[in-house]
Structure 1
Amino acid sequence: MKALIDGLLKFQSEAFPKRAELFKHLASTQSPATLFITCSDSRVVPELLTQQEPGELFVIRNAGNIVPSYGPEPGGVSATVEYAVAVLGVTDIVICGHSDCGAMTAIAQCKCMNHLPAVASWLRHAESARVINSARSHVSDTAKVGSMVRENVIAQLANIQTHPSVRLALEQGRLNLHGWVYDIETGTVDALDGATRRFVPLARHPHTYALQAQRNSDVA
């Protein structure tokens, strides 16, 4: 705890004064443009990765960057997605997986999780990704985990489109979806190209979308 408290004191004495006007503005409002959904892994820090200031990202973090399909008993992830889209009006949603993900490793390698029943239940929301990944051939265990990470991002992008608020925003052409995979060792990010269903380096393809907003042009 000492490190956390020392960090807080440093924030109050150094970082906060430099952003005093920003925090004064944020004290009564927020208008983030992006909902960023990623893993709880301590090595993944959305604001650091994207170099965003407070108020610019609305963040959901959980084991495996999972978004359960919408159901009759929505949980915390569903409520947060709904608030971000329907109330805050975010224009972009990023689902970001990462290398060496413990959750995806457990699934890909079929590790026994009888001692972690809550985790096992939660990871069933990645079952479609597991089935697809298991049906493929992989050159190594490492490659199998990497493929699982990517398939899970694709699966969660499909899941999030079952949410009514997301479906409406997509129908109205005011929301873009992005699928990212962050490599911890190199700092690089691959993004899902919705047209080709392949992941490409985001640095070389900065305008890559998993699903880009298409405004309706219907004439009354």
Structure 2
Amino acid sequence: MQLLIDEARTFPARAAAHGVNLGPHTTSATPQAMFIACSDAHVVPALLTSSRPGDLYELRTYGGTLPHPAEHEPTSEARTIEHAVDVLCVTDIIVCGHSRCGAIDALHPDSEAAPFQVAAGQWHTLMQFDALSEYPCVQARLIDRTLRLHAWYYDIDAGTTVRYDPRASAFLPL
């Protein structure tokens, strides 16, 4: 814990050394994209995308799992999506799955074959992508073409990311 405390204390100096301005204008910055990912500590959206403070609006859940929209009692995930879409007016939403995901392993505990795990992880990513596209606020923005959805899959071991291409019905290099 002490390491985390020490890093938090030195963050302003490190940010300044890298040209990151933490001044007042950054609080009003509007992110251009929302990044939905697993809460796994190996997945760091800002590092994957070289984003700076204010660039990404993140939603992290166990396995990157999104509930289907419900009319009554909206979930915190639903409210986060609605805020990104309706208030922040993001133009892109990335749903990003990853390799060696504990949530996927829990769903498919009998298979340890790497190709199966990748296929299961990519399938899970597409299921979350489909759930996201069911949200009324998302549908409205897709219809007026002011929002684009993307499905990515991050390979933790290789450090590479692929994207889903619906025309090819496959995950391809970015």
Q: TM-score range by the shorter chain?
A: over 0.9
TM-score, with length taken from structure 1: 0.74
Pairing 1:177–2:159 present: no
Q: How far off is 1:22 after superposition?
A: 4.6
Change beyond 3 A, Cα 1:176–1:20: closer
- Cα 1:109–1:175 change in 2 (3 A) is same
Amino acid at match of 2:41: S
* 1:71-110 mapped onto 2 (5 Å cutoff): 71-72=70-71, 73-109=73-109
* Runs of 4+ off more than 3 Å: 16-22
Larger displacement relative to structure 2 (60-69 or 13-22):
13-22
Unaligned runs of 5+ in 1: 111-137, 203-220
Task: Return closer, same or farther for 1:48/1:21 CA change in 2, 3 Å cut-off.
Answer: closer
**1:133-152 alignment runs, 5 A limit:** 141-152=113-124
Equivalent-residue separation in structure 1 for 2:15 and 2:7 (angstroms): 10
Q: TM-score, normalised by structure 2?
A: 0.93
**Secondary structure, aligned partner of 1:96:** strand
Question: Which structure is higher in strand share?
Answer: 2
Query: Equivalent residue for 1:37?
Result: 36
Could you list the runs of 5+ residues in structure 2 that have no partner in the other structure?
none
Instruction: Report the equivalent of 1:24.
Output: 24
Separation (CA, whole Å) in 2 of partners of 1:69 and 1:47: 26
Q: Which has the larger radius of gyration?
A: 1
In 1, Cα distance between equivalents of 2:170 and 2:14: 43
1:108 to partner: Cα distance: 1.6
Instruction: Tell me how far 1:185 sits from its aligned partner.
Output: 1.2
Give identity over the alignment, percent: 36
Q: Secondary structure at the match of 2:156?
A: coil
What are the within-5 Å matches in structure 2 for residues 1-220 of structure 1? 1-16=1-16, 19=19, 21-27=21-27, 29-72=28-71, 73-109=73-109, 141-202=113-174
RMSD between aligned alpha carbons? Answer: 1.7
CA deviation map 1:2-43 (0-9, x unaligned): 01111012213332465574532113x130010000000001
SS of match in other structure, 2:124 = helix
- One-letter amino acid matched to 1:98: H
Is the CA contact 1:64–1:97 (under 8 Å) kept in the aligned structure 2? yes
